[in-house]
């Protein structure tokens, strides 16, 4: 059968135009992906497919920066195929997120007051309110919440939206394979306005795979290779300089360690000598303490033990004037704060009182410390 040249030319032009449109759409989607989500939604609109059930017909509408446009009407139930929408929609449009719209009469809506701290984890907080506000258990429903406003006292005005699983399964029974490709389920109020919720759990929300990830991966790898090739020459030029600098730093580090070790040894010797002199000159000698005790202890007092432990002087002995020993030892330049430790005990053999006396040694006078140095 002969084919006219004009018809063949028109077919080629149509194919070329479709390829150009797909290329421009891919390029525009790639550029838009670099924008923040809020700015991307403002500039490009949030493209999505809305699925509405009307009797035995599924209406497919497209929403993108404007009013919804009817794309197709499919009879229900849909055939059991993987994705029936790809047979009636363009590939780029079929990849848009798909939202099922159900009437709000199928669910329950409850207004709540929540503290301001619940704003960041609103869905988790509402999970605890389902059994209190509805006759269903949490695992028997799909739910979400929407923020209505904030009161003057900081509390949040929230509406809990609950869709029983039985109602959802009954309404979506004829969708076939589409039920597993829904990105969200929203409800329509009596005026036909969306509530702006997504009662699907995050685990059940379908996310379309990026079909251009191989191109993106290839371009990223090419960019990395080009960058490495551009930097290779700089790296080679700097390696020799880095090696020479490393050798110099190693030699200087060894010298610096030797100097530091010698300095540390010198500091240790000086500080050790100063500490020994301070310990020697900082308190009276044992001879001075014994001489002062010999002058101040009264007759009839015998020492069994004299101990110097750090700054503490300890005397243990027998005396017939044990109660007066504290007064006789006060005022000595070698010690301070003499006091009896424990009760006096009479020795049955000598009829004298056994005592234990403690005092704190004083620091040596500055003149004596200077003489000791």
Per-residue pLDDT band for 109 (boundaries 50, 70, 90) equals very high
331: left (phi over 0), alpha (psi -120 to 50) or beta: left
Q: Write down the residue that tokens 């109602």 correspond to.
A: 167
Q: The pTM is what?
A: 0.50
Mean per-residue pLDDT, 352-363: 86
Largest alpha-carbon pair distance within the chain? Answer: 149
165: left (phi over 0), alpha (psi -120 to 50) or beta: alpha
- Please list the residues that pair with 102 across neighbouring strands: 187
| Residue 212 pLDDT | 59
Mean per-residue pLDDT, 287-299: 84
Per-residue pLDDT band for 111 (boundaries 50, 70, 90) equals very high
Closest CA to 140 of 195, 187, 87, 201: 201
Closest CA to 52 of 105, 107, 100: 100
| Per-residue burial over 104-139, b = 16 or more CB atoms within 10 Å of its CB, e = otherwise | beebbbbebebeeebeeebeebbeebbeebbebeee
Query: Under DSSP, is residue 213 helix (H, G, I), strand (E, B) or coil?
Result: helix
What does the pLDDT look like over 130-170, one tens digit per residue? 988 999 998 999 999 999 999 988 899 999 999 999 999 98
| 95 phi, psi to nearest 5 deg | -85, -5
pLDDT score of 298 more than 90 = no
Write down the mean pLDDT value for the chain: 82
pLDDT score of 186 more than 90 = yes
Helix (H) or strand (E) segment spanning residue 79: none
Asked if 113 and 147 count as a contact pair (C-beta separation under 8 A), the reply is no
What does the pLDDT look like over 222-260, one tens digit per residue? 889 998 988 988 888 888 888 889 999 999 998 999 999
Distance CA 218, CA 207 (A): 23
Helix (H) or strand (E) segment spanning residue 61: strand 57-63
Closest CA to 194 of 50, 37, 55: 50
Mean per-residue pLDDT, 279-308: 81
Joined together, the tokens standing for residue 208 give 């379309």
Q: How far is the CA of 286 from the CAs of 211, 278, 307, 338, in angstroms?
A: 94, 16, 10, 17
Asked if 311 and 283 count as a contact pair (C-beta separation under 8 A), the reply is yes
| Residue 18 pLDDT | 63
Contacts of 306 (CB under 8 A, 6+ apart): 289, 290, 293, 313, 314, 315
pLDDT score of 369 more than 50 = no
What does the pLDDT look like over 27-49, one tens digit per residue? 665 565 555 555 554 555 578 89
Mean per-residue pLDDT, 291-314: 84
């Amino acid at each position: 059968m002969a084919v006219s040249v004009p018809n063949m030319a028109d077919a080629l032009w149509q194919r070329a135009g479709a390829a150009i449109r797909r290329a421009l759409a891919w390029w525009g989607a790639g550029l838009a992906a670099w924008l923040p989500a809020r700015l991307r939604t403002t500039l490009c609109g949030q493209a999505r497919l809305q699925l509405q059930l009307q009797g035995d017909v599924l209406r497919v509408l497209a929403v993108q920066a404007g009013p919804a446009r009817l794309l197709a009407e499919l009879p229900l139930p849909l055939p059991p195929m993987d994705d029936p929408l790809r047979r009636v929609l363009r590939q780029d449009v079929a990849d848009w997120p798909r939202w099922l719209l159900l009437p709000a009469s199928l669910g329950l809506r409850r207004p709540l007051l929540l503290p301001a701290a619940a704003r960041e984890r609103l869905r988790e907080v509402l999970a605890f309110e389902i059994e209190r506000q509805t006759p269903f258990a949490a695992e028997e429903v799909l739910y979400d919440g929407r923020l209505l406003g904030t009161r003057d006292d900081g509390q949040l005005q929230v509406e809990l939206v609950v869709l029983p699983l039985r109602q959802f399964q009954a309404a979506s029974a004829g969708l076939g394979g589409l039920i597993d490709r829904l990105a969200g389920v929203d409800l329509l109020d009596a005026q036909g306005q969306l509530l702006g919720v997504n009662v699907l759990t995050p685990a059940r929300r379908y996310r379309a795979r990026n079909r251009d990830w191989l191109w993106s991966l290839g371009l990223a790898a090419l960019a990395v290779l080009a960058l490495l090739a551009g930097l290779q020459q700089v790296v080679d030029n700097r390696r020799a300089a880095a090696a020479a600098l490393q050798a110099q730093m190693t030699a200087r580090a060894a010298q610096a360690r030797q100097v530091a070790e010698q300095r540390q040894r010198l500091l240790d010797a000086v500080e050790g000598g100063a500490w020994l002199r301070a310990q020697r000159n900082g308190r009276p000698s044992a001879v001075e303490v014994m001489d002062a005790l010999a002058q101040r202890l009264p007759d009839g007092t015998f020492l069994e033990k004299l101990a110097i432990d750090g700054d503490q002087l300890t005397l243990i002995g027998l005396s017939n004037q044990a109660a007066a020993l504290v007064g006789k030892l006060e005022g000595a330049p070698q010690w301070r704060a003499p006091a009896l430790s424990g009760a006096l005990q009479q020795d049955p053999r000598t009829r004298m009182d056994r005592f234990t006396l403690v005092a704190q040694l004083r620091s040596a006078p500055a003149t004596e410390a200077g003489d000791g140095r």
